[in-house]
């Protein structure tokens, strides 16, 4: 094949899927390179050029040697991991109940979707009003005599946690429901014919088929929860128990105007987040990933 | 015209699954009761959260009582004037419309290639498109804002639009791909055999068939962009704030403003989002975003 003509060469490329249609990818690829990859690389290199001198790693040393900054990683994980986990775990049984057809299913789905429209600020205001010391929730608790003094549920960890449940649960629910509807119900019926009990069917058939979807749902809810920033300020205690890492990055950039340090924190944040993503993906790859019967 | 198409498709897709689930879900076991009780508890508290903001936005003075001392609509008027909401809403709508249009124009062709073709490096391209969705906006938002400031985009509407495109284009690609996979490639081949060029195939064959998919991803991007806080917050200037960002500023500067006018503004924001979402739900079956049941006869 030493005398490959231009046409022949093009033909062979086309057989491997490289033809003129690939030009259609160009705008999106250029766009991702310019607006995502380039800023990322720029931020990475900026993080190695500390504003106040020092070695290339000075910004990272600064972050990890300062307990007030370092602890933001743990704070973020302590809020985001349980919230994401609870959202996914709570979504499973509810989605399981909702996959059949019954009266009011559409209404119920719509109501469950409504929290998506609330936005951080209405959620924050609502939680402050509702769960606050003089709010309806504490009034009811004190009214039925469960407690004498109002329980503190806002301006601390719990406020942020609840705001993540309110905004994250509907999202997790929708995803789990759609993964669940993708599982072919005939599989379960076949198992029932063979004498499998309800719990056996769930454990041996539905759960393994659903697990990869659950992993994806967990990841997406975790990403949402991990970047919690407005609610950490509005319903949390932004100087203490809910000082999340995004807040540290924001303060470095827009209060101290140290973009190099802010980029370093953003990179650390990305790295921590990607470690969790990687762990979940590795765990997911050990699960069954074949066809779930019904979906393509 | 497209609404009936997508609805009927959804019903058709759902058909077999739904019919089988009927009996099972009506029988109430003890676990079912517990689950419904938990759902009810969630709803009651959710209603409390939303209701307290709604009541407060119409309330006169509300301290240590069940309900405010009187009701008024003055906070809405105040919020409207004080925060210049007309301007803010105009900016929100313009920015979102631009983001939607650009991300569809850039994303849809890429989705087409990814749905139809195998080529070397496809996985890498796919992962690159996936990354902006898997990363929290703040992580890439801060370097992105720095770059946008460097080139003079940030602080203006253009910066807000560019920043919001980063998660939107991949989102269009991901939501469009299954729609394109459902269009039979033989239809295209047939058109080509009859002499249609690439342009004609796209405009006369694919575009009309993909209207439901285009609408779905466009509306979802719209909802996302209107609600996107972080990226807009990092790149907006005083004149290019969207409603979420303006709301955040008004709330974090609490004490200066009456809390009720912030509540009123939050209610305005949520009603806007609700309208968008109800429109979206008319075109998109939310449960079929991830797992599309194929329309193949079995």
Does B49 contact A32 at a Cβ distance shorter than 8 Å?
no
Fold for domain B84-288? MetI-like fold (1.10.3720)
**A103 CB within 8 Å of a chain B CB:** no
- What integer pLDDT is reported at residue A3 of this predicted model? 52
**A233 CB within 8 Å of a chain B CB:** yes
A-interface mutation test, from B35, B140, B290, B295, most A Cβ less than 10 A away? B290
Q: For residue A4, what pLDDT band results from cuts at 50, 70 and 90?
A: low
**Of B114, B135, B273, Cβ closest to residue A270:** B135
- What integer pLDDT is reported at residue B122 of this predicted model? 87
- What integer pLDDT is reported at residue B38 of this predicted model? 85
3-state secondary structure B121-146: CHHHHHHHHHHHHHCCHHHHHHHHHH
d(C-alpha A290, C-alpha B24), whole Å: 27
Tens digit of each residue's pLDDT (9 = 90 or more) over A54-83 = 778 889 998 999 988 899 999 999 999 999
B-interface mutation test, from A26, A32, A231, A261, most B Cβ less than 10 A away? A32
Between A217 and B287, the higher pLDDT residue? A217
DSSP conformation class of A36: I
Per CB-CB distance under 8 Å, the chain A contacts of B63 are 134
3-state SS class at A152? coil
Query: Average pLDDT for residues A253-279, to the nearest whole number?
Result: 91
Q: For residue B68, what pLDDT band results from cuts at 50, 70 and 90?
A: confident
Does B119 contact A113 at a Cβ distance shorter than 8 Å?
no
Per CB-CB distance under 8 Å, the chain B contacts of A166 are 46, 49
- What integer pLDDT is reported at residue A292 of this predicted model? 54
DSSP-H helix ranges across B135-258: 137-150, 157-182, 185-193, 198-200, 207-209, 211-227, 230-235, 243-252
Q: Report whether pLDDT(B16) > 80.
A: no
Fold for domain A49-287? MetI-like fold (1.10.3720)
* Pick from A90-104, A126-140, B21-35, B234-248: least confident: B21-35
- What integer pLDDT is reported at residue B43 of this predicted model? 86
d(C-alpha B118, C-alpha B120), whole Å: 7
Share of chain B above pLDDT 70, in %: 84
Query: Average pLDDT for residues A26-50, to the nearest whole number?
Result: 91
Sequence ranges of the domains in chain B: 84-288
Share of chain A above pLDDT 90, in %: 22
DSSP conformation class of A33: I
Between B66 and A247, the higher pLDDT residue? A247
Query: Average pLDDT for residues A196-209, to the nearest whole number?
Result: 83
Tens digit of each residue's pLDDT (9 = 90 or more) over A216-244 = 889 989 988 887 788 888 888 888 888 99
Pairs of CB atoms within 8 A across A/B = 299
Tens digit of each residue's pLDDT (9 = 90 or more) over A158-190 = 989 999 998 888 888 888 888 887 787 788 888
Q: For residue B192, what pLDDT band results from cuts at 50, 70 and 90?
A: confident
**A175 CB within 8 Å of a chain B CB:** yes
Tens digit of each residue's pLDDT (9 = 90 or more) over A45-62 = 999 988 877 778 889 998
Taking CA–CA distances from B31, the nearest residue in chain A reads: A93
pTM of the model: 0.81
Query: Average pLDDT for residues B51-76, to the nearest whole number?
Result: 78
Q: Which of A186, A184, A130, A136 is nearest to A162 (CA)?
A: A130
Between A143 and A20, the higher pLDDT residue? A143
Length of chain A: 296
- What integer pLDDT is reported at residue B22 of this predicted model? 45
Sequence ranges of the domains in chain A: 49-287
Sign of CA dihedral B171, B177, B182, B184: positive
Q: For residue B23, what pLDDT band results from cuts at 50, 70 and 90?
A: very low
- What integer pLDDT is reported at residue B28 of this predicted model? 64
- What integer pLDDT is reported at residue B62 of this predicted model? 72
Tens digit of each residue's pLDDT (9 = 90 or more) over B71-113 = 777 878 877 887 788 888 899 999 999 999 999 999 998 998 8
Helix axes B243-252, B259-283, angle to 10 degrees: 150
Tokens for A183?
């599982």
- What integer pLDDT is reported at residue B19 of this predicted model? 45
Share of chain A above pLDDT 70, in %: 93
Q: Report whether pLDDT(B198) > 70.
A: yes
Does A25 contact B110 at a Cβ distance shorter than 8 Å?
yes
Q: For residue B135, what pLDDT band results from cuts at 50, 70 and 90?
A: confident
* Pick from A150-154, A255-259, B69-73, B176-180: least confident: B69-73
Burial of A20 by CB count in 10 Å (0-12 exposed, 13-18 middle, 19+ buried)? exposed
**Of B20, B119, B170, Cβ closest to residue A17:** B119
Query: Average pLDDT for residues B149-157, to the nearest whole number?
Result: 87
* ipTM at complex level: 0.80
């Amino acid at each position: 094949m030493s005398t490959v003509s231009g046409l022949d060469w093009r033909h062979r490329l086309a057989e491997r899927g490289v033809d003129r249609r690939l030009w259609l990818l160009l705008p999106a690829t250029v766009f991702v390179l310019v607006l995502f990859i380039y800023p990322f690389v720029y931020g990475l290199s900026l993080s190695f050029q500390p504003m106040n001198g020092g070695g290339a790693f000075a910004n990272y040393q600064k972050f990890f040697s300062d307990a007030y900054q370092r602890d933001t990683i743990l704070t973020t994980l302590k809020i985001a991991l349980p919230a994401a986990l609870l959202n996914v775990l709570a979504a499973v049984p509810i989605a399981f109940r909702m996959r059949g057809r019954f009266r009011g299913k559409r209404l119920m789905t719509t109501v469950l979707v409504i929290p998506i429209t609330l936005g951080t600020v209405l959620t924050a205001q609502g939680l402050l009003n509702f769960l606050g010391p003089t709010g309806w929730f504490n009034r009811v608790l004190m009214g039925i005599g469960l407690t004498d003094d109002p329980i503190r549920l806002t301006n601390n960890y719990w406020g942020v946690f609840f705001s993540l449940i309110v905004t994250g649960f509907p999202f997790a629910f929708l995803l789990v429901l759609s993964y669940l509807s993708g599982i072919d119900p005939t599989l379960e019926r076949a198992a029932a014919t063979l004498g499998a009990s309800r719990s056996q069917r769930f454990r041996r058939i539905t759960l393994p088929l659903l697990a990869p979807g659950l992993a994806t749902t967990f990841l997406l809810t975790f990403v949402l929860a991990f970047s919690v920033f407005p609610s950490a300020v509005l319903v949390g205690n932004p100087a203490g128990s809910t000082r999340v890492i995004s807040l540290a990055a924001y303060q470095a950039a827009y209060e101290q105007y140290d973009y190099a340090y802010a980029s370093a924190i953003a990179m650390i944040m990305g790295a921590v987040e990607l470690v969790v993503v990687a762990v979940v993906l590795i765990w997911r790859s050990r699960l069954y990933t074949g066809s779930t019967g019904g979906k393509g | 015209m497209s609404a009936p198409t997508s609805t009927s498709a959804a019903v058709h897709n759902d058909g077999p699954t739904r019919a089988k689930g009927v009996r099972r879900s009506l029988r109430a076991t003890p676990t079912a009761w517990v689950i419904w009780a938990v759902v009810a508890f969630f709803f009651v508290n959710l209603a409390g959260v939303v209701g307290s903001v709604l009541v407060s936005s119409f309330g006169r003075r509300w301290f240590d009582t069940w309900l405010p001392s009187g009701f008024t609509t003055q906070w809405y008027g105040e919020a409207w004037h004080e925060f210049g909401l007309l301007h803010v809403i105009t900016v929100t709508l313009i920015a979102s419309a631009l983001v939607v249009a650009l991300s569809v124009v850039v994303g849809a062709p890429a989705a087409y290639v990814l749905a139809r073709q195998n080529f070397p490096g496809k996985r890498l391209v796919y992962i690159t498109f996936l990354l902006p969705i898997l990363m929290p906006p703040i992580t890439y938002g801060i370097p992105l804002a720095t770059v946008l400031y460097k080139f003079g985009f940030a602080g203006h509407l253009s910066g807000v639009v560019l920043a919001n495109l980063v998660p939107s284009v991949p989102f269009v690609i991901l939501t469009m791909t299954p729609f394109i996979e459902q269009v039979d490639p033989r239809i295209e081949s047939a058109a080509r055999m009859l002499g249609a060029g690439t342009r004609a195939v796209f405009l006369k064959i694919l575009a009309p068939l993909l209207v439901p998919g285009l609408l779905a991803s466009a509306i979802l991007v719209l909802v996302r962009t209107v609600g996107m806080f972080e990226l807009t917050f990092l790149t907006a200037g005083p004149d290019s704030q969207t409603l979420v960002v303006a709301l955040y500023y008004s709330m974090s500067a609490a004490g200066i403003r009456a809390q009720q006018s912030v509540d009123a503004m939050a209610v305005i924001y949520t009603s806007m989002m609700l309208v968008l979402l109800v429109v979206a739900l008319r075109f998109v079956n939310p449960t079929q975003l991830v797992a599309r049941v194929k329309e193949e006869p079995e």
